Amino acid sequence: MKAIKNIGLVVFITGLIIFTGSIFTGSFNLNEAELDNFISSKNYKNELIKEELKKAIVTSEPLSIFEFSSKVRNAYAISNKYYDDLIAKYDAEKNWDKKGAQYQYKIYGKPHTLSFELAKIAGKGSIKENPNLFWWLTFGLGIVGALLFILPNYILLGNAGIKNNGIYLESSTNRGLIAWLVLIYLVGFYLLLYFMPDYVVNWTFIFDPISKALNGGLASQWFVYGFLYCVIMLVMAIRMYIKYRHNKYQIIRTTSVLFFQIVFAFLIPEIMTSLNMPGYDFKNAFPLDYDFFFEWNLDSLRSSGAVGLFILAWGILLTLVIVPVMVYFFGKRWYCSWVCGCGGLAETLGDPYRQHSNKTLKAWKLERWLIHSVLVFSLIMTVVTLYCYFTGTNSFLGINSQWIKDTYSFLIGAWFAGVIGTGFYPIFGNRVWCRFGCPLAAYMGIVQRFKSRFRITTNGGQCISCGNCSTYCEQGIDVRAYAQKGENIVRASCVGCGICSAVCPRGVLKLENGPEKGRINPTEVLLGNDVDLMKLINNN
């Protein structure tokens, strides 16, 4: 069994190396016809960019993606600088007409994204020619290797039951060297994905056939990410099924997040795109779905007929009615650990790292400041955006609409939710984003804390303060602090993963939905004592 595991590890790492190494393969260049096609499809009105791009990348020389990217970005920079200089010049001459005329020649968009679009056309090499072979060499090997590594646990873990043996004795799960290497890899992955997609254009070639089959178009980096996300969750869900095979709550919950990721987040939007509808994730609620009210999305929905209007109505209904009503009846767990994609990754890929959440009072204070600030930030951004959308202005309350959207997308959307949220799993735990950043979690947390039927019930006086519950709480709640006082746990941040209840050796904790009355039960003295003493002290 151990040998199978080791073989699995080698196979997995081989797949990972090929996947990572594939970035450096292939060659990139264009012929003139391809460039002309591109320029006309983009509707560029200036000749300079055509000249510059021609000089840069219309060549028979096989450029690497890095050379290619740098040449493309340089071409755009030269072109834009030329017109910026003209603008400055006419500005100095107070020649407003001419100045105004230059803006149409400027090319907007992120340089790496423009480079990605060109690289998608320019790419050549074995990956583009043999995408299916490379799918097997990367994803295929990765999946097979991971399964070989995971499946023997069925035997190796011993009889069904809580088997957290060795978690704090192993480098990978105890913030050792392996954990740091994983962190670096994940952070690097997200930086490339968000900020330098052209560098990983080769990955998208692997997925062109699959993407064409699903939505009719070529694969973008987001298609690769979406597919990878589903594959990782599926494989790590199998790990969960083995680890918690005695615990039906965990089995059902894992199946639920897996279903919503694969069907709602991945398949339905792809199929909608193939039908010329806006691809929409029906479970992704604002304000987690922070760009739902952005102009481009509203425009796209409004121009998509009945489907678009339905999505618009559904999105508003989801946030304003469905989310709070469901939180009232079931707690925010219905979303965070049953439906959400971020939660889904945290509960599968992130499960081995759940113990790293910080349990100190300081961390709790930081959490409350940070998460509510993000909620306020997202709301201000949305108010500004909507005001500007309906009035046609550029700013509201002195806040520039484009600026606040860009800032939020960059700081919260990319860095907090992606790079930090997932990249930091191995060191800071699997719910960094959900605990400190997610504005939807903040919103649901307020409902859960003040108006909900959900609580974790503490079972009388059975707690022995062992600390398993607190240690394995991914949200950093000091569960024991409540349990040892016989107090129910009613906390805004609880996502109802149910692991505290699972790891409790004395059967003290139960996630329940019940009447609001008596949900919060502060006690001074626990059950077991003489009734008179309890009454006396609790009444004081």
Separation CA 71–CA 57 (nearest Å): 7
| Contact string (CB under 8 A) for other proteins, positions 346-385, x = contact | --------------xx------------------------
CB of 249 to other proteins, least distance (A): 4
Name the nearest CA neighbour of 522 among 489, 477, 473, 475: 489
Given a contact cutoff of 8 angstroms between Cβ atoms, the answer to whether 423 and 179 are in contact is no
Stretch that binds other proteins, among 28-36, 297-305, 320-328, 467-475 (CB under 8 A): 467-475
Q: Pick out residues in 89-108 that bind other proteins (CB under 8 A).
A: none
CB of 360 to other proteins, least distance (A): 6
Size of the site for other proteins (CB under 8 A): 61
Could you say whether residue 525 binds other proteins (CB under 8 A)? yes
Separation CA 384–CA 294 (nearest Å): 10
Residue from 85, 129, 170, 406 in contact with other proteins (CB under 8 A)? 170
Residue from 21, 188, 505, 522 in contact with other proteins (CB under 8 A)? 505
In sequence order, the β-bridge partners of residue 63 are 28
Could you say whether residue 460 binds other proteins (CB under 8 A)? yes
Name the nearest CA neighbour of 350 among 160, 466, 499, 201: 499
Residue from 39, 116, 160, 202 in contact with other proteins (CB under 8 A)? 160
Could you say whether residue 470 binds other proteins (CB under 8 A)? yes
DSSP letter string, 312-335: HHHHHHIIIIIHHHHHHHH-THHH
Could you say whether residue 9 binds other proteins (CB under 8 A)? no
CB of 163 to other proteins, least distance (A): 8
Separation CA 382–CA 319 (nearest Å): 14
Burial 106-122 (b: 16+ CB within 10 A, else e): bbeeebbebbbbbbbeb
Residue from 296, 397, 531, 539 in contact with other proteins (CB under 8 A)? 531
Neighbours of 217 (CB within 10 A): 13
End-to-end Cα, the chain, rounded Å: 60
Could you say whether residue 31 binds other proteins (CB under 8 A)? no
Neighbours of 150 (CB within 10 A): 20
Q: Pick out residues in 428-457 that bind other proteins (CB under 8 A).
A: 457
Given a contact cutoff of 8 angstroms between Cβ atoms, the answer to whether 145 and 11 are in contact is yes
Helix, strand, coil tally for the chain in percent (to 5): 65, 5, 30
Could you say whether residue 176 binds other proteins (CB under 8 A)? no
* Residue that the structure tokens 């002309």 belong to: 36
Cβ-based nearer residue to other proteins, 94 or 362: 362
Cβ-based nearer residue to other proteins, 374 or 509: 509
Residue ranges in contact with other proteins by CB under 8 A? 158-162, 164-170, 246-249, 252, 360-361, 457, 459-462, 464-468, 470-471, 480-481, 484, 498, 501-503, 505-507, 510-512, 514-515, 517-518, 521, 524-533, 536-537
